[in-house]
Structure 1
Amino acid sequence: MWSTNERKQDQGDDNSTQRPVKGLLEKRSKGRPLKRWADDIKELAGKDWLILSQNRDKWKELEEAFTRKGTLVHTNEAYKILVVLPVKVPSQNILCNGYVDNLLRAGHEVTYITPFPRKELPPKFRQIVFDYPDNLMPGNILTIEKILNKSIDVMDMSLIISPFLDGVVHCLRDKNVQNLINDPNESFDAVIIEWLMLHVISGFAAVFQAPLIWSNPAEASWLPLSVVDEVPNPAYAPDILADYFHPYTFWQRAKQLLKQISMPVILYYFNSKTEHHYEEVFVAAGKKKGIALPSMAEVNYNASFMFSNSHVSLGEPIRLPQNFIPIAGYHIDQKPKPLPEDLQKIMDNAKHGVIYFSMGSNIQSRFIPEKMKREFLDMFSKFKQTVLWKFEDVLPDLPSNVHIIKWAPQHSILGE
């Protein structure tokens, strides 16, 4: 990471009034680094550290020694991190909160741009809250009723991107967000942004002259990989919306190729509509600070790396570059919070176990057609298990083994 002082040095000539962005586009000097990560291990384990790594007990001792060494040497290396969630999607808020909580536990200062305000504000945490209209929430657009009657096509990526675009623009125009962007005293050491296929939000990293870290909320696939690496071979790389699995047939591979050709065209259309927002919001703020920002595309494709809510053991086999880092499960609390008293009582009295049923945050159960609701209840009534159904409304005439909860502490329920 580049230090704050280094980022603030003036790189222009005597007649220039603007400084080019450092950190985003600069290249390191030629030659090998002065010290590599393996050199630190050799200091503790010796030159035969690769052989020692095969001995689990010995390697565990070395891990503890290495951690103690790092703790003693690097006790003052805390950073200022900006985490950005520009849309109101509850599931993605959970993922972003995972970054916030883990960074705070590590001693860093965290600023979180979010439409989900926290009631309790821990030390070293600041939230920049912006209002978000309910009509822009994907859950109110992609309803299960519209999916079932086929009035919308869930495979249509433009249908998914469109509400994201409106939400991002709404975020950028918010007064609280504008104040942060235009504050000349604000600085960050890194910016973590939820990847939404829209280039304009990468401007947060550019305007603060900080390394950009994308956060991929789903499994590794060709589209997010194309942001930090070359586009993988369509014969092997999965598509996030594909309804087929390896090994692909000839026509499935052809379909994958067609998607890799058509999707960039769709994204180009949507991203071209945000160019003027990048200029009006970020470039204008940069000029006030005396900073010359790169183009929107340059910033978008020059991320330091991408975190991904995925793991190689759970998804499709695919080649991953070193700057694509799977961290599945990072958002899950190691110690789940206690359940509310009423839920704990239900769990304790469930002699045959509990079935937890949820459609997630985007597809809400209250939009299920009435006939299908009754069919679900009829099916649940035949189970000997207790059923917890996350349902956003009142549902009458429930079977004795079915309980409706409007909000569910999912981690605590599953960890019970």
Structure 2
Amino acid sequence: MLFHNINVVAAVLSALLLLAGYTESANILHVIPFSAMSHYIFLRHIGLELAQRGHNVTVITTHKEKNPPSNYHQVQVQKKQIWELIGGERPNIFDMAELSSEEFHHKVVWPGGLAFTELTLNSSDVQEFLKKDNTFDLVICEQFVQEALYTLASKYNAPLVIISTFGNCMRHNIMTRNPLQLATVLAEYLKLNNPGNFWGRLRNLYFTVYEYLWWRYWYLEKQEDLVKKYLPDLIGKTPSLYEMQKNASLMLINSHFSFDTPTAYLPNIVEIGGMHVRKSNKSLPEDLQKLLDESKHGVVYMSFGSNIRSAELPEHKKKAFLNVFKELKQTVLWKWEEDVLEGKPKNLFTGKWLPQQEIIAHPNIKLFITHGGLIGMQEAIYNGVPIVGVPIFSDQYNNVLLAEEVGVGKLLHYNDFNEDTLNKTINEILNNDSYLKTAREVQKRWNDRPMSPLDTTIFWLEYVIRNKGAEYMKNPARNMSWFEYTMLDVYAFILLIIVAVLAFFVKLILIVRAIVYGKQTNKMTKRKKRL
């Protein structure tokens, strides 16, 4: 009995010690300055959850939380939209449907990334923060063309974790020597109609190389210039930005194999798809709750997200939606950013800003019409709601294409759709139970995980802290040259040996042939002389 009690006490003490190792408070810097609300919706939960678990969290952000925990500290970045920074008025986002992937990078991604990085480093609150004598155990940065901010990990001599609000990143794969799998895995901003055929795979290869070379040899140099300008004390004391990302302790990506293309990843590249989605404790506004509850034929919900304004739709596109909606027996709820929508049918209700997660979670939602933004797509997957997608730019096309391939939705090309195609597509989803059935099947497998995406995120962040950067998880091949990693030098050597052996045997055959032929010739000559 005594030994039994001793064993129980020992087990309890061991458990307490283990728990202490998991919950030991750390100083964590969370760098998420990009102003797009969709990015913040995904990333905000990390800092808040870390603070709730007892860590001391400092967040560099454009968006401030109203009532954060006392151990959650916010450093304000000046709030500006990307269009203000790249020297022009806000365009009609729908016009971006015309841009190629290359044009989107050169007109939006590269200049926007540089402008936001400079805005962050030049913000007065950030400048004051950087002057203080802070120490951090971990630095978390969003991986979204703001690489100069990785330098903060070097400044505070802390492990670097990068987080992508998108899924797979080809640039990161190349530098860390993660398998590219170009036959099945697409570059994140590439628009392809038939990614699996020959021309699609060729285009994927071309764009992956194109984007990497521009980023590696032009864009990163511009980011390095910002480091020299705003962090001059670190000049010569830090690795290059390329080396910092290559040696990041961990990369967390917003994807999951239950919906996204199954992909091979290194142990320090972890999928946390849908981290922002959870069962909400918030209640809907009373009028919305009543509307959704009392719609006996269900509700069609439409939103083009936080960056795209439905109110900017061209008149003929707007009329197509209105004409289709008025023929539906379902109630339609549309995120419309203006006070008035002319020609609004009786079954259509609008709101300038709607609580999307709570709406999509309502059991009466029958269809989600979306631009294909990943945040909203994952909310639909989590709740088993079919979609109709009208992608405009960035990763939206790939997201909707994947939903169509899986069988949970349909893709409408923005430039091509009209009232007729819109009507057929919406009614096909609403009247064909296979889409809802598939959506519910995908919902089950999406949510069937050993830990929630947020718990998975926190586990790996704390894992990196506990294991002081977890150097052993990094791929040793990242320090090899491309020729060494791909074994081209070895294959070339083997080929050289094979060629040498073949050449030897060919030469030997020629010599033997010459000897035999020479003897035969001598015999013939002697015979002729005798005659």
TM-score (norm 1): 0.75
1:200 maps to which of 148, 172, 175: 148
Distance 1:259 1:66 in 2: 56
CA contact (8 A) 1:283 1:293 kept: no
CA contact (8 A) 2:34 2:62 kept: yes
Structure 1 position 263 matched with structure 2 position 211? yes
1:244-259 correspondence to structure 2 within 5 Å: 244=192, 248-259=196-207
Distance 1:187 1:324 in 2: 26
1:314-329 correspondence to structure 2 within 5 Å: 314-329=259-274
Distance 1:75 1:193 in 2: 22
Distance 1:356 1:269 in 2: 42
1:148-167 correspondence to structure 2 within 5 Å: 150=98, 152-153=99-100, 156=103, 157-159=105-107, 160-167=109-116
Q: Which residue of 2 aligns with 1:127?
A: 74
DSSP-derived class of the 2:251 partner: strand
Q: By how many angstroms is 1:90 displaced?
A: 0.6
TM-score (norm 2): 0.60
Q: By how many angstroms is 1:76 displaced?
A: 4.8
How many residue pairs were aligned? 347
1:396 maps to which of 319, 342, 345: 342
Q: Which residue of 2 aligns with 1:17?
A: none
- Deviations, residues 191-232 of structure 1 (Å, cap 9, x unaligned): 111111342121121222211111111122423433544461
Change (3 A) 1:238 1:245: farther
Distance 2:278 2:258 in 1: 21
1:60-139 correspondence to structure 2 within 5 Å: 72-74=19-21, 76-134=23-81, 135-136=83-84
CA contact (8 A) 2:184 2:261 kept: no
Structure 1 position 273 matched with structure 2 position 219? no
CA contact (8 A) 1:187 1:208 kept: yes
Q: Which residue of 1 aligns with 2:128?
A: 179
- Deviations, residues 128-164 of structure 1 (Å, cap 9, x unaligned): 112222334899756334235x3x4455322323212
Distance 2:257 2:130 in 1: 37
Q: Bigger shift: 239-248 or 385-394?
A: 239-248
Change (3 A) 1:71 1:388: farther
Q: Which residue of 2 aligns with 1:28?
A: none
- Deviations, residues 289-330 of structure 1 (Å, cap 9, x unaligned): xx9322332222211010111101111122111111001122
CA contact (8 A) 1:172 1:281 kept: yes
CA contact (8 A) 2:178 2:266 kept: no
AA at the equivalent of 1:111:
T
CA contact (8 A) 1:82 1:190 kept: yes
Distance 1:70 1:366 in 2: 57
CA contact (8 A) 1:238 1:316 kept: no
Q: Which residue of 1 aligns with 2:157?
A: 209
Q: Which residue of 1 aligns with 2:257?
A: 312
AA at the equivalent of 1:411:
Q
CA contact (8 A) 2:116 2:146 kept: no
Structure 1 position 147 matched with structure 2 position 96? yes
Distance 1:409 1:300 in 2: 36
- Deviations, residues 69-93 of structure 1 (Å, cap 9, x unaligned): 6764436512122111222111000
Distance 2:273 2:196 in 1: 26
CA contact (8 A) 2:94 2:308 kept: no
Distance 2:214 2:185 in 1: 19
Flag structure 1 segments of 5+ consecutive residues without an equivalent. Answer: 1-42, 45-64
Change (3 A) 1:360 1:154: farther
Q: By how many angstroms is 1:283 displaced?
A: 4.1
1:249-398 correspondence to structure 2 within 5 Å: 249-267=197-215, 268-284=217-233, 286=234, 292-394=237-339, 395-398=341-344
- Deviations, residues 80-125 of structure 1 (Å, cap 9, x unaligned): 2211122211100011112123212322222111111222222311
Distance 1:102 1:357 in 2: 30
Distance 2:77 2:169 in 1: 31
Change (3 A) 1:278 1:107: same
DSSP-derived class of the 1:273 partner: helix
Distance 1:95 1:323 in 2: 20
Q: By how many angstroms is 1:389 displaced?
A: 0.9
Structure number having the greater helix percentage = 2
Change (3 A) 1:409 1:226: farther
Q: Bigger shift: 65-74 or 358-367?
A: 65-74
AA at the equivalent of 1:414:
I
Flag the structure with larger Rg.
2
Distance 1:300 1:95 in 2: 21
Change (3 A) 1:365 1:262: same
CA contact (8 A) 1:136 1:166 kept: no
Change (3 A) 1:322 1:361: same
Q: Bigger shift: 107-116 or 136-145?
A: 136-145
Distance 2:146 2:65 in 1: 26
Distance 2:206 2:13 in 1: 49
Q: By how many angstroms is 1:364 displaced?
A: 2.1
Structure 1 position 188 matched with structure 2 position 136? yes
Distance 1:140 1:81 in 2: 37
Change (3 A) 1:263 1:176: same
Structure 1 position 408 matched with structure 2 position 357? no
Change (3 A) 1:224 1:314: farther
Q: By how many angstroms is 1:357 displaced?
A: 0.7
Q: By how many angstroms is 1:248 displaced?
A: 2.4
